[in-house]
Chain A
Amino acid sequence: MDKVIVAQNLSLGYSKDEYIIKDVDFSIDSGSFVFITGASGSGKSTLLKSLYGALKPETGSLVVAGVELKGVSKGKLNLLRRYTGIVFQDYKLVKEWTVEKNIMLPLIVGGYDKRVQQEQVEKLLSHVRLKHQALKYPKELSGGEQQRVAMARALSNNPVLILADEPTGNLDDYSSQLIWNLLEGANKDLESTVIVVTHHIPESMRVEYKHYHIEFGKIHERV
Chain B
Amino acid sequence: MNAFKNHFSLVVALLGILFSLQTFTIVERAIDAYKQNLAHNYSFVVVSKKNIIETFFKEKYSLISKVDELSPDKVIKKLNAGIDKRNTELLKLALPKFYKLQLKHYPSPSEVNSLTKSLLRNNSIMKVETFAKSHDSTYKLLLLFKSVITVFAVSVGIITMLLISKELKIWQFKHSERMSIMGLFGAPTWLSSAVLFRLAIVDALLASALSFVLFIYISSNDWVVAELANIGIKIIIFNTFSDFLMMLTVSLVVSLLLASFIVISHKEEV
Q: Are A94 and B185 in contact (CB under 8 A)?
A: no
Quick check: B181 and A14 within 8 Å, CB to CB? Answer: no
Contact yes or no, A78 B186, CB < 8 A: yes
A105 to B185 CA separation, bound complex (whole angstroms)? 8
Q: In the assembled complex, which residues on chain A have CB atoms less than 8 Å from the CB atom of B185? A: 81-82, 86, 105-106, 109, 153
Interchain CB contact under 8 A, A80 and B186: yes
Number of contact residues on B: which range applies? 10 to 19
Q: Are B186 and A54 in contact (CB under 8 A)?
A: no
The total of chain A residues at the interface (CB under 8 A) is 27
Residues of A within 8 A of B187 (CB): 78, 105, 108-109
CB atoms of B186 and A92 under 8 A apart: no
Within 8 A of B (CB), among A64-93: 74-75, 77-82, 84, 86, 92-93
- Whether B182 and A54, one on each chain, are in contact in the complex, defined by CB atoms closer than 8 angstroms, is no
Q: Cα distance A95–B270 when bound, in Å?
A: 19
Least distance between A21 CB and chain B CB atoms (Å): 14
Query: CA separation between A153 and B269, bound complex, in Å?
Result: 19
CA distance A109 to B185 in the complex (A): 7
Q: How far is the CB of B1 from chain A (nearest CB, A)?
A: 13
Provide the bound-state CA to CA distance between A14 and B270, in Å. Answer: 9
Contact flags (1/0) for A7-25 with B, using CB distance below 8 Å? 0000000100000000000
Q: Which residues of A contact B183 (CB under 8 A)?
A: 78, 81
A95–B182 CA distance with the chains assembled, in angstroms: 12
Contact partners of A14 in chain B: CB under 8 A = 270
CB-contact partner of B182 in A75, A105, A110, under 8 A: A105
Residues of A within 8 A of B (CB): 14, 49, 52, 54-55, 74-75, 77-82, 84, 86, 92-97, 105-106, 108-110, 153
